Amino acid sequence: MTLAVLLIVLPLAGALLCLAGTERTAKTVGLLAGLVTLGAAVMMAREFPAWGTADFWPNQEGWRLFTAFGVDFLLGTDTVGMILILLTALLIPCSMLVSFGAITQRQRGFYAQFLFMEAAVMLAFLARDVILFYIGYEFTLVPLFLIVAVWGGSERRVASIKLWVYSFVGSVVSLVGFIYLAAGNASAHGGQMTFAIDALSQYGASLPASTQWWLFLAIMGGFAVKVPFVPVHSWLPLAHGEAPTAGSVVLAGIVIKIGQYGALRFAFPMAPEGGLALAPFFSALALVGILGMSLVCWVQNDVKRLVAYSSVAHMGLALLAMFAFNVVGMEGAILYMVNHGLSTAGMFMCIGIMYERYHTKDMEVVGGLMQRMPVWSVFMVFFAMASLALPGLNGFVSEFLCLMGVYTADHGVKTGFPGILGPTYAFLAALALILGALYVLRMLQRFVFGPLREPHDAQHPPGGEAHGAHGHHAVAHDLNLREVAAMAPLAIACIVIGIWPKPLLDTIEPAAAKVVAPYVELIQRAPTAEKPSDGLALNAGSPLPASPAAAGEAAQ
């Protein structure tokens, strides 16, 4: 078995072992399985020969189980997928580690669900076939639903059902797009049904523009639920609010990234003309999300929901940058996936640890925790700053690149970064930075600094809650070693990416360029007469992009 297969099989085996074991051994088995998978992911990353290229590896033909349906069991991934695989493999054990104290009920099921989810996510990132991807993508729903529904907070029922229905409908809509494309491809190629990503991308790009419009709407529309875009986002804050800590971590860090990854891997290459035509629409939705959700964050007292809403705003920025269709923006968006995964996951862990001690997420009730838990406060402030894009931390690099991509996209002739959108979009999106500073600092001010406020019933927490009543201490203690161990890897990654992003940027550049290439070609081919007058001008006749690595250096 090669590493690619191991990445899927190991968590599966771990999950079954968890279920077969006892309540007491479940956490150990789960963590071990997670760590072994992390080891396999690291080994695969070391062996990975395609760093710095847009190639896929290992492209290994697995079982020929579904060939009659046109589905090839072909596994392989490029740099983007590889980075996300590493992120997944890192976040799963961390999220397990952080829930050792919090989860006291049905532990076998709990850790098994995380491993089932890990296997499905790995399959999604490794798939070179649309249906194979879909299997992983759709299957994540089952463990995610159970995690929220069984181990969630008081409103878990509504939250889990909403999560299930939104995601299911979204993914089925994408599936319809894929199947329509595959059927067209089959009839164009003598009835040979195939779901291979490359073949479908090639065929999709050759379709008439009106067909591509619908295709892009279907495929991207489905992924938009997962990202999530604004009108279909309401499941996410609810799910985050009710999910157990570890559930929020994987939801923010991994699951919604599959949505963005899907846009990048499927929607964009399969219907470039449709993407170009619909870019203003989706960009506007992204902007509404960025600004609207930032404003919502401003008035949130529930810390967890605040982070959840900020998540919607952040992913909006990442998607906006993708719709700028230039290499800088795309690079920024890809890096944003990783950075958002790290910093938001860190914040959710901090909030979860706090919740374990105080059983509230309300800033009105609890605050000034610097005096009680200094180490915790350091982590909280650190991850908040990373998410706020403080220069020197990872968030800054990606946010800067995203904004730069959006801004320069209109001036293709001068800057050498052809694309659409432009300064207007960048200006509006940058407003979100200010709003972000406002709400994050407000949160930190009340939550971490200021006078100490603790709920009166901290000594007698409500027993028997789904989160498990842990922390019968008179005074909430600071982080223990296990909790530090869960968060430290994320913090280190934040610093490393923040200070020295160049290798990462260099290595994702070809992949980003590959996604953007058909769009650049289309934009350059578009006659000037078609230029819309409202500032969304297409760049006609601009030169090919100069090295965006320069932009990466500028970001530092």
List of residues contacting other proteins (CB under 8 A): 63-70, 131, 134-135, 138-139, 141-142, 145-146, 149-150, 160-161, 164-165, 168-169, 172-173, 175-176, 179-180, 182-184, 186-187, 191, 193
Q: How far is the CB of 507 from other proteins (least distance, A)?
A: 32
Min dist. Cβ of residue 482 to other proteins (A) = 28
Distance of CA 235 to the CA centre of its chain: 15
Least distance in angstroms from the C-beta of 357 to other proteins: 26
Residue 319 CA from chain centroid, whole number: 11
Task: Evaluate whether 99 touches 245 at the Cβ level (below 8 Å).
Answer: yes
Residue 194 or 339: the one with the smaller Cβ distance to other proteins is 194
Cβ 324 to other proteins shortest distance, Å:
31
Which CB atom, from 161 or from 526, has the smaller least distance to other proteins? Answer: 161
For residue 204, the minimal CB distance to other proteins (Å) is: 14
- Residue 196 per-residue DSSP state: B
We find the least distance from the C-beta atom of residue 150 to other proteins, in angstroms, to be: 5
Min CB(164)–other proteins separation in Å: 6
| Rounded least distance, CB 253 to other proteins, Å | 23
Residue among 25, 38, 30 nearest 13 (CA): 30
Q: What is the DSSP string of 492-544?
A: HHHHHHHH--HHHHHHHHHHHHHHHHHHHHHHHHS-GGG--SSS-----SPPP
What's at 537, amino acid-wise? A
Q: Closest CB to other proteins among 51 and 168?
A: 168
Nearer to other proteins, 65 or 475 (CB): 65
Residue 64 or 531: the one with the smaller Cβ distance to other proteins is 64
Nearer to other proteins, 54 or 141 (CB): 141
Smallest gap from Cβ 66 to other proteins, in A, equals 5
Beta bridge partners of 302: 362
Residue 442 is encoded by which pair of tokens? 């407000």
Distant-in-sequence, close-in-space partners of 162: CB < 8 Å, separation ≥ 6:
234, 235, 238, 239
Residues contacting 235, CB < 8 A, separation 6+: 159, 162, 163, 166, 167, 225, 228
> Is residue 107 within 8 Å of 244, Cβ to Cβ?
no
| Interatomic CA distance for residues 461 and 94, integer angstroms | 26
Q: Is the Cβ–Cβ distance between 444 and 380 less than 8 Å?
A: yes
Report the distance separating Cα 516 and Cα 331, nearest Å: 10
User: In this complex, which beta carbon is closest to other proteins, that of residue 108 or of residue 233?
Assistant: 108
Nearer to other proteins, 176 or 390 (CB): 176
* Residue closer to other proteins (CB basis): 51 or 139: 139
Annotate 219-276 with three-state secondary structure. Answer: HHHHHHHHCCCHHHCCHHHHHHHHCCHHHHHHHHHHHHHHHHHHHHHHHHHHCHHHHH
